[in-house]
Amino acid sequence: MQQTQLIPRVGGAPAPPPRSAPAATARPVPAPARPRRRRRWWLVALLAILAYPLVLAGLVLLGVDRVAAMPAGQRPPPGPGHTWLVVGSDSREGLTPQEQAQLSTGDVASRLTDTILLLSTAPDGVATLISVPRDSLVDIPGYGQNKVNAAYAFGGPALLVQTLENATEVRIDGYVEVGFDGFYRIVQAVGGVQVCPTIPLDDPRAGINLQPGCQVLDGAQALGYVRARYSDPRGDLGRVERQREFVAALADRATSPAVLLNPLRSVPLALAVGQALTVDAGMGPVDLGLFGLAALRATGSGGQMLTVPIGGSADTRVGSVLLWDDTLAPALWASLRDGTPVPPQLLTYP
């Protein structure tokens, strides 16, 4: 073994032997920091918020029925805007005998259209909801002159679309139908809708007896409210005005935070809407979304709602009918065809 020689320090004791440099100590690699639990909860919450409307939309789409509603043959050319036919039929499908008795619908097998609405959007984004009274006299292809709601009974949605296109020369791009059962369940799902009738409505045929004043209607009462006409001094014209007002109130309630942000309301509502709707076979998810947005715009503060201008009535072989105004009605249809604003004088028409 080699011995280390001690080199004497000048004028003193020998110097200590040199020390070797200490070996480098390996530092432990720190483990990656775990994300804070709070951050993970925020991520989960964000994903849930983003997915929530998609889930609701999916529930609606799962239940929608489809029907071939667009007629064959020659039709008006597409316009610059978009127009949907919205129908409330008196179909009792889905109602048990007990529910038919509760809702005072009867058990009539034939199907008519208690509500006929045209929802139209203009290129400038303005949406208009137009009531077509069911007693309007029109020419039904293959059946001659009759009340417009008879077209549905004669030939279903396609004949009704064809009849209205011939009468207005407006291209109808989509079709949406809701029956008695669907309407009742939608109102039930949102927990009722507030209305403010200004006259008493006592109509045993519709199963309704309401006094003037604001009140919340459940599904059964709401169905009677939009059907009643025999106790309304304005008959069918009064009813179509109430129908539009109720549609606006229902849309306002359905899009309120109390419903949309409450899964106990919004999920049943999405299921009820899906099961209530019958749409044209050509309407896809995007078309349904555009329809929903147009309906919200038309019934909102920036929308327009009116009735086809009526010029008078007549007694015919099919009963008492309403006649469209020879000047104002064509002006209304021209605005829809051309995508121009509805004439201001029509917006005051009830």
Q: DSSP letter for 330, please.
A: H
pLDDT at 205: 86
Residue 18 has which token pair?
A: 């040199």
User: What is the pLDDT averaged over residues 220-244?
Assistant: 90
Q: Could you list the residue range(s) of the whole structural domain that residue 134 is in?
A: 47-346
- Candidate from 98-107, 243-252, 277-286 with smallest mean pLDDT: 98-107
Tell me, yes or no, whether 62 lies in a domain. yes
Per the CB < 8 A criterion, the answer to whether 251 and 240 are in contact is: no
Average pLDDT over residues 33-60: 72
Read off the pLDDT of residues 140-170 as tens digits, 9 standing for 90 and up.
999 999 999 999 999 999 999 999 999 999 9
- What is the pTM for the complete model shown? 0.82
244: confidence class by pLDDT, cuts 50, 70, 90: very high
In a domain, 11, yes or no: no
pLDDT at 6 over 80: no
Handedness of CA 101, 106, 109, 114 (dihedral sign): negative
Residue 107 confidence (pLDDT): 46
Domain count of the chain?
1
Instruction: Categorize the per-residue pLDDT at 110 as very low, low, confident or very high, splitting at 50, 70 and 90.
Output: low
Report yes or no on 109 lying in a domain: yes
> Scanning the structure block, which residue is given the tokens 């009742």?
184
Q: Which stretch of DSSP H or E encloses residue 210?
A: strand 208-210
Residue 291 lies in a domain: yes
pLDDT one-digit tens code per residue, 266-285 = 999 999 999 999 999 999 99
In this predicted structure, what is the pLDDT of residue 318?
Answer: 94
Query: 154 in helix, strand or coil?
Result: helix
Question: Comparing C-alpha atoms, which of 86, 63, 135 is closest to residue 299?
Answer: 86
User: Are the beta carbons of 304 and 298 closer than 8 angstroms?
Assistant: yes
* CA separation for the pair 115, 117 (Å, rounded): 7
What's the whole-number mean pLDDT along residues 234-263? 93
Specify if 27 maps to a domain.
no
Residue 347: the pLDDT is: 84
Q: Is residue 26 in a domain?
A: no
Q: What is the CATH number of the domain that holds 311?
A: 3.40.630.190
pLDDT at 18: 57
Residue 14 has pLDDT above 80, yes or no: no
192 assigned to some structural domain: yes
Q: Is residue 9 part of a domain?
A: no
Q: What is the mean pLDDT of the segment spanning 23-29?
A: 59
Mean pLDDT of 125-149: 95
Residues 6 or more apart from 318 whose CB is under 8 A from it?
145, 146, 147, 150
Indicate whether 59 pLDDT > 90. Answer: no
Q: How distant, in Å, are the alpha carbons of 5, 8, 342 from that of 2?
A: 9, 19, 112
pLDDT for 248 equals 95
Predicted confidence (pLDDT) at residue 100 exceeds the cutoff of 60:
no
* Residues 6 or more apart whose Cβ sits within 8 Å of residue 67: 156, 157, 175, 177, 278, 279, 280, 281
Residue 1's pLDDT band (cuts 50, 70, 90): very low
Given a cut of 70, whether residue 93 has pLDDT beyond it is no
pLDDT at 49 over 60: yes
